[in-house]
């Protein structure tokens, strides 16, 4: 009864120039127990990353000013944030787009419109990865015997 949700304390940044996509992801993720931070473009995202240190990032590709590929490249070149999983979001689903995402360091590629289940499955896959289960500074440690 007093158990914490396994999602408690995890912070996810959603970067998309579409308010609809941002709000949809925010509602789904908050309902699942995650803390959510929003950004509407790459420049805004870089500031949010430094301020909030997210555990996972959803990043739209097609955005004004600084697109998702450039933003992902900057994140992955930063020693402090390079291990943060980045999941690219795009309505484009070609092999070229997926390959370009991998080249800049994206961990996964999720096609829009995404489903609630698809979004949450991507989160679970990356927050359960070995680099994320070690001392997460945002998760309050409790003795449950499980990691």
* Confidence (pLDDT) at 143: 32
DSSP states of 40-109 as a string? SSHHHHHHHHHHH--SEEEEESS-SSS-HHHHHHHHHHSTTTTTS-EEEEES---HHHHHHHHHTT-SEE
- Is 60 inside a domain boundary? yes
- Say which CATH number the domain at 64 has: 3.40.50.2300
Within a domain: 95: yes
Give domain status of residue 144, yes or no. no
Domain coverage including residue 107: 11-129
> How confident is the model at residue 4, as a pLDDT?
46
Asked if 79 and 61 count as a contact pair (C-beta separation under 8 A), the reply is no
Q: How many residues does the chain have?
A: 147
Q: What is the pLDDT of residue 103?
A: 95
Q: Is the pLDDT of residue 34 over 80?
A: yes
Query: Is residue 134 included in any domain, yes or no?
Result: no
For residue 76, tell me if it sits in a domain. yes
CB 98 within 8 A of CB 109: yes
Domain count, the chain: 1
Q: Tell me the pLDDT band of 145, cut-offs 50, 70 and 90.
A: very low
56-60 vs 11-15, strand pairing mode = parallel
In a domain? residue 68: yes
pTM as predicted = 0.83
Q: Is 54 within a domain?
A: yes
* H helix count then E strand count, the chain: 6, 5
Cβ neighbours, 10 Å, residue 77? 11
- Domain membership flag for residue 111: yes
- Tens-digit pLDDT profile for residues 58-106: 999 999 989 999 999 999 999 999 999 999 999 888 899 889 999 999 9
């Amino acid at each position: 009864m007093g158990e914490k949700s396994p999602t408690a304390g995890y912070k996810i940044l959603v970067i998309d120039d579409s308010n609809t996509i941002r709000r949809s992801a925010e509602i789904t993720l908050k309902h699942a127990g995650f803390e959510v931070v929003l950004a509407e473009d790459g420049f805004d995202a870089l500031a949010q990353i430094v301020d909030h240190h997210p555990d996972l990032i959803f990043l739209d590709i097609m955005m004004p000013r600084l697109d998702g590929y450039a933003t992902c490249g900057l994140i992955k070149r930063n020693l402090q944030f390079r291990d943060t999983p980045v999941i690219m979001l795009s309505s484009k689903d070609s092999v070229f787009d997926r390959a370009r995402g991998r080249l800049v360091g994206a961990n996964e590629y999720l096609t829009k419109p995404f489903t609630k289940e698809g979004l949450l499955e991507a989160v679970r896959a990356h927050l359960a990865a070995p680099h994320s289960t070690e001392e997460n500074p945002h998760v309050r440690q409790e003795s449950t015997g499980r990691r």
